[in-house]
Chains A and B, each alone.
Chain A
Amino acid sequence: MSRETLIDLLYLFSATTFLVALKGLGSPKRARYGNMVAAFGMLVAVVATFFKFVDGHALHHVGLILLAMFIGTIIAVPTARFVEMTAMPQLVAIFNGVGGGAASLVSITEFVHIKSTNPATYVTLEVLLGVLIGTVSFSGSAVAFAKLQELMTGRPVTYPGQQIINAIVGVVALALIVTILVQGSTTLLWILLVVAFVLGVAFVLPIGGADVPVLISLLNAFTGIAVAASGFTLGSNLLIVAGTLVGASGILLTRLMSKAMGRSLSNVLFSAFGSNVTATGASAIEGRSVRSGSPEDIGVLLGFASKVVIIPGYGLAVAQAQHVLRELAEELEGKGVQVFYAIHPVAGRMPGHMNVLLAEANVPYEDLLEMDEANTELQTADVALVVGANDTVNPAAVNDPASPIYGMPIIHADLAENVIFLKRSMRPGFAGIDNELLYNPKTLLVFGDAKDTLTKVVAVVKAS
């Protein structure tokens, strides 16, 4: 067997391990094993590549390659090990961005490398797509990171004529691609790089914090597609398979997330949602009465329940109250109360984020219910305990066609016999919309920091 065939076989092995990893994610039991298999497959691919011949000779600059890998590793490992779980979205954003950047650089360098050989038009097109998509992913992810890390405002950034300017930048990028296809100019390629960078920034600026879960999924898909495009250019099946898998997963998640928000993808991307906060909220709040209670009231209510469904939102993580919440759930279970957690798909800042935050607090995954299951359980629940969530339980999404979140599937907390709402204040949620559920006669409101309140409730339940 020739050296090249052996290497290709090893690449095939790697591609298979990636599929094993994705398949493993079908259940929490096998997921970790799958991830390790894929990491091993990646290692095999990298080692095999060291033995590959390019342009008829062995790899040059092996020392430089190892140096770059060394630097990358000593930055990546501590970052990945010590990041807070609440900061996971920005970490994924930045790792995604650097992947897109790498794909873009690979495409550019390959173009510079092969330009003298007058490559076929389709090769140039692959290069250009790789550069465009990879760079948009890079700069877009950087802005998403800045928003999530609160280096800049999480609100949509808008300015007059924004849509038109963005459209012009997009058209310029396309025009450049066509010109480069015809002329094969390297200078124009650098200009395309700059334009693509601007496009990524301009595209992400008007997207607000609440829509970031959709955005991150989409950028992930972009990087996948850019990698697949590089695979075409370099003639690597491994890159095509891996890139396409990620592209497919990103697109799928993007669609799921927009559906979970009850909005179309184009509405999420282009409407600057959430920029006119409290336009509807303030007036409605005045003059309406709410029922407020004390931690003791809740403790008693929970202690006498037979089924409790907890509906957590990102506010729970902000208050760092996951552990106290789990403690409360354990106390209740110790008294024979059934406890479930109802997780809305967009709870948190990225797809599935809330599950990770609760898993970190040692909540067993069997207790985490998806929205549909949760709504079934809520029909027979005695208490729905809403902690730090707001828009995801807002009945306006079902009843009020004028509401900005109308059409979003929600967790129907109001199906339960009683609703307990832990809230810092009467301030409206992320999307800036008043919540009818707060005024429901079933609802008992408890104001204050979620962690403090829950700590008191645990004490009450323990004592009873």
Chain B
Amino acid sequence: MSNVLLQYATVLVLSAFVGTEIIAKVPSILHTPLMSGSNAIHGVILVGSMLILGSANTNLEEVLGFLAVLLATLNVVGGFVVTDRMLEMFKGRKPKPKAKSDEVTP
């Protein structure tokens, strides 16, 4: 039994390290999309909510499961949509290339 627990713990520890490494490289200009994007990612609780409602035997479990799926869907869909909308706004300087040194006339 504790083999399973150990396997989950391994996944947890590795994810924590990988996550920290990757997220530390996100520039502060994108911290809001990072928050809303990671927000959408924890909406994966939708999968858990589906399993809960899908295995519900009693009315109580059905009500709680239904609520869980509803809330988790809000989380996932809202999170991804709003993050996409934000990231769409981040645009670079299109017409002129970044190097400004050779520009004399304004």
Interface residues of A (CB under 8 A from B): 11, 14, 18-19, 21-23, 25-29, 31-32, 35-36, 38-39, 42, 45-46, 49-50, 52, 54-55, 59-62, 64-65, 67-69, 71-73, 75-77, 79-81, 83, 85, 88, 91-92, 95-96, 98-99, 101-103, 105-106, 108-110, 112-113, 120, 122, 216-217, 220, 223-224, 227-228, 230-232, 234-250, 252-253, 256, 333-336, 338, 343, 345, 350-353, 355-356, 359-360, 362, 364-368, 370
Contact = CB atoms under 8 A, between A and B. Distances in A.
Given A55-B55, A253-B35, A334-B106, A64 B27 contact: no
A117 B95 CA distance: 66
B23 to A, nearest CB: 4
A355 B30 contact: yes
A231 B37 contact: no
A68 B20 contact: no
Contact of B35 (A220, A335, A368): A220
Nearest to A257: B31
Contact of B106 (A88, A223, A335): A335
A334 to B, nearest CB: 6
Contacts of B62: 61, 64
Contacts of A95: 36, 39-40, 43, 74-75, 78-79, 82
Contact of A352 (B22, B25, B31, B38): B31
A235 B55 contact: no
Contact of B78 (A91, A109, A243): A91
A22 B23 contact: yes
B31 A99 contact: no
A45 B23 contact: no
Given A25-B33, A25-B37, A28-B90, A72 B71 contact: yes
Given A35-B84, A76-B77, A368 B29 contact: yes
A99 B32 contact: no
B22 A22 contact: yes
Contacts of A79: 78
A186 B30 CA distance: 43
A231 B38 contact: no
A60 B73 CA distance: 18
Contacts, number: 370
A250 B52 CA distance: 26
A98 B74 contact: yes
Contacts of A35: 33, 37, 40, 80, 83-84, 87
A356 B42 contact: no
A21 B90 contact: no
Contacts of A245: 15, 18-19, 23, 38, 41
A35 B84 CA distance: 7
B88 to A, nearest CB: 6
A162 to B, nearest CB: 28
A25 B26 contact: yes
A113 B62 CA distance: 11
Most buried by A among B28, B78, B87: B78
16 contacts: A23-B22, A32-B88, A64-B62, A71-B70, A80-B77, A88-B32, A99-B43, A230-B45, A238-B44, A239-B48, A242-B44, A335-B106, A351-B34, A352-B30, A359-B91, A368-B29
B37 A88 contact: no
B34 to A, nearest CB: 5
A457 B1 CA distance: 71
Cβ-closest 9 pairs across A and B: A72-B73, A352-B31, A59-B54, A248-B19, A76-B78, A351-B31, A68-B69, A80-B81, A244-B15
Contacts of A216: 35
A230 to B, nearest CB: 5
Nearest to A32: B87
A236 to B, nearest CB: 6
Contacts of B79: 80, 95
B42 A28 contact: no
Contact of B53 (A18, A65, A88, A234): A65
A364 to B, nearest CB: 4
B89 A75 contact: no
Given A26-B26, A32-B84, A76-B74, A60 B47 contact: no
B8 A232 contact: yes
A213 to B, nearest CB: 9
Contacts of B44: 14, 18, 42, 45, 227, 238-239, 242-243
